[in-house]
Chain A
Amino acid sequence: MKRKLILVISAMLLFSTILAACGGTDKSASSPSSSAPAPSFSASPSPSESEPAKAEKFDISLRHIQVGQAQQFRKAILDEVVKRAEAEVPGANFEYDAVEDSVNRWTKLPAEMAAGNPPKIFDLFGGPGDGQKYAKAGKLLDLTPILDELGIKDKFTDFSTFVIDGKVYGLPIGASSEGLFYNTEIFTQYGINPPKTLEELEAAAETLKKNGITPFAMGSSAAWVPLMMVNTMMARYAGPDIQAGLGNGTRKWNEPEVVAAFAKYEEWVKKGYFTKGELGIDYAGQTDQFITGKAGMLFDGTWRASSFKADGDAIGKALAGKVGYIAFPSVTGGKGDQTAVNYNQNNGYGFSADVNGNELKAIKAFIKNMYTDEFQIRGFKEDGVLPSMKVPADQLTSDDPVISKILEANKAATTVFPHFDSLVVSKVNGEVEKQIQLLIASKATAQQVTDAIQKVSEAELAAAK
């Protein structure tokens, strides 16, 4: 008797362990995060639920990157959009999953795509290294029918980096330029005028350095940060069509003009124009350098502009009214249009291909409420995010001095150029990131760096054929 009892108990223990283990794996495979339960079809019908008026409740996961104080204005817009979408789709509950930008782009989302469990709505970059790669693998929802239904397809100025075979798989949330922010107080103190040519910029850097101020704030522990400036320098030296040429292989990373851009950057590193120990400083640390007045200039995206508002919560409010902005100065002898500015519409939202009817309704409501003139203008006014949709030009005015200067700088430009990372595959981008750090660490010269990138680029282009 006893023996049987023990056998039965141990058998029960065994099966419960196995079942528990299986249950665990099943759940993690079907839902994006353990805290986000699958849509609640399993709820047993109760009298109240059978009433027609009451809608079925369901969760829809939303990954966003609006983390931290610097992103607060964007987060407020997202909150508003979600509130409206929830009101429109009865029963919908948008579940936030906040992840820092580069972790989402380069670690979490790729891993989720590989495992087949991305969130339903997520922050997405375009280009062959991100959105287009996932779209080709059938992981992204084709948005073309939704755009047609909502009638907003022609409202976007450019979503080409999210398109594969004529179908749209992502929508840019806004646009940005990259240029030079400068501390007007420091500039006035040392009698420096906003530089118009590279020579003037170098003279300004020299003056700042002589007075114990770091010319350019820099935090290159993440390589995309220094690459912003390198990207623009490439366009100045090799022409604004260089990025497109590098993407499709018609131009070379080691052609003399691109090498010249890298060589100039190398020269500045050697001259100590960037923050000392930059390889150990992150992006937030770079902003900090500029805000605290340790550095006189900051090459960054226009999204940084809202940090310098007089608003009580802005991280750089100490600098309010003391920040100027110019496009990167022209390079004497540089190829092509020297007034061209960088312009990106490469970041926005993508949606999982694996959605049910309810989730699709919620996604539609999200798109309908997010991509409107109202929020495009609000994003611009509150946050300095340039619109990615065609909005009435008379609405695009700003009292913010920094944003006005950005508009001014962009108006003066007749040509725009993208960031190379929206046009090359991730492996090439990875190689550029590795090589720029080697350049900064003085472990490689501009020629060696560009040769190495070209080698990887050729191999990848050949493999793609």
Chain B
Amino acid sequence: MKNTMKNPAVYWAFVLPSLALYFLFFIYTLLTSVGYGFTDWNALEPARYTGLANFRQAFADSDFWVAVKNNLYFILFSVFLQVPLILFFSLLISGVKRLQGLYKTTVFMPSILSTSIIGILWGFLYHPNDGLFNKVLELFGAEPIMWLGDTKWAMVSILITNAWQWMGFYIVLILAAIISLPKEINEAAAIDGASGFQRAARITVPLIMPIISVVIMLSIAGAMRVVDIVLVMTNGGPAGATEVMASYMVNQGTRYGEYGYAMALSILIFAIALLLTALYQITFARKIERIDY
């Protein structure tokens, strides 16, 4: 057995299958995208090399930049609204003595549902005439809001739905970190007279900073590649108000047959995502100290 583990061939045997799949579905596709990004290609006829034309078109394409802006809204919404709420709920649930399991399961539920189902369910809630939200507004005599039909509200509506879907997942992550903290630290602070708020703000949150950083990182990555919820709920509408980078790319490809341009967009999206995550890593994530206890 010992000899086997020393044989490099064994390691290769275990690594090769996943490497092969990785090359097939990631490296190969990435390289072909790059190749086609420099062509005019409708996927029906042979591709024609056009140099940087697609990229020039993308930089001048105001619709694409609206989509980039919408992705940034997703990021801002998740980092500045979702993460604080996630933290708040995690702290609440961690403090619960009874039925903690029930709360954990309940908040986690939405993240195991398929996005299509969530999109359709929330579509009912947002329905202009018969939806729950407008019925409630009606009770108070307020004007109904055209949630998904109004360019001002559609983006917010999708952000709320998206937050509802994913918050539970992150709450469970943070909750696990809180629960794994040694109890002694909190108890000692309590004996010294620290209030619940002080303990949360001064002890718990600093101690779980590394996991919060991971949650922020995942939120940014998730916001960059968001597409399914948009396709299901509005398909980028009304009038392009909720278009995100990926939905714009998909539509350019399949809907209009501009595969070359769509490939160029995919490269840009990749670059933007890389840039933003790198930026976050350099500016914030590295500053977070690991605390040993």
Contact = CB atoms under 8 A, between A and B. Distances in A.
Interface in A269-285: 276-281
A137 B154 contact: no
Given A277-B150, A279-B149, A10 B44 contact: no
Contact of B237 (A21, A221, A427, A430): A221
Contacts of A434: 63, 239-240
A335 B146 CA distance: 38
Interface of B is mostly: loop
A139 B21 CA distance: 31
A443 B154 contact: no
A137 B45 CA distance: 6
A125 B13 CA distance: 51
A124 to B, nearest CB: 14
A2 interface: yes
A107 B151 contact: no
Contact of B257 (A114, A221, A294): A114
Contact of B13 (A10, A134, A281, A441): A10
A11 B237 CA distance: 51
Given A3-B3, A114-B259, A443-B239, A17 B154 contact: no
B10 A110 contact: no
B180 interface: no
A14 B17 contact: yes
Contact of B149 (A17, A139, A221, A426): A221
Contacts of A443: 151, 239
A10 B14 contact: yes
Contacts of B154: 280
Interface residues of B, number: 42
Contact of A18 (B17, B239, B257): B17
A314 interface: no
A426 B20 contact: no
A110 B256 CA distance: 9
B54 interface: no
A220 B235 CA distance: 12
B228 to A, nearest CB: 14
Interface of A is mostly: helix
A190 interface: no
Given A114-B257, A114-B259, A276 B128 contact: yes
Contacts of A427: 256, 258
B24 interface: yes
A11 B13 contact: yes
B254 interface: yes
A279 B239 contact: yes
A89 B149 CA distance: 50
Interface string B5-20: 0010110011011001
B152 to A, nearest CB: 9
A437 B238 contact: yes
Nearest to A110: B254
Contacts, number: 115
A133 interface: yes
B43 interface: yes
Interface string B67-84: 000000000000000000
B256 A430 contact: yes
B44 A2 contact: no
Interface in B1-40: 1, 3-4, 7, 9-10, 13-14, 16-17, 20-21, 24
Contacts of B21: 17, 21
Interface in B166-210: none
A114 to B, nearest CB: 3
Interface in A102-156: 106-107, 110-111, 113-115, 133-134, 136-137, 139
A3 B7 contact: yes
Given A133-B44, A430-B255, A6 B10 contact: yes
Contact of A114 (B44, B129, B237): B44
B115 interface: no
B238 A113 contact: no
A111 B21 CA distance: 23
A134 B44 CA distance: 7
Contacts of B44: 113-114, 133-134, 136-137, 139
Interface string A17-36: 11001000000000000000
A279 B150 contact: yes
A111 B129 CA distance: 35
A2 B2 CA distance: 11
B254 A111 contact: yes
Given A133-B44, A221-B238, A278 B14 contact: no
6 closest residue pairs by CB, A with B? A280-B149, A114-B43, A277-B146, A279-B238, A137-B44, A277-B149
29 contacts: A6-B10, A7-B4, A10-B14, A17-B17, A21-B20, A21-B21, A21-B24, A106-B254, A110-B255, A113-B43, A113-B44, A114-B259, A136-B45, A221-B149, A277-B144, A279-B238, A280-B146, A280-B234, A280-B238, A281-B149, A430-B256, A434-B63, A434-B240, A438-B240, A440-B238, A440-B239, A441-B238, A443-B151, A443-B239
Interface of A: 2-3, 6-7, 10-11, 13-14, 17-18, 21, 106-107, 110-111, 113-115, 133-134, 136-137, 139, 220-221, 276-281, 294, 426-427, 430, 434, 437-438, 440-441, 443
Given A280-B150, A434-B63, 9 more contacts: A2-B1, A3-B4, A18-B20, A114-B254, A137-B44, A276-B128, A279-B238, A280-B146, A434-B239
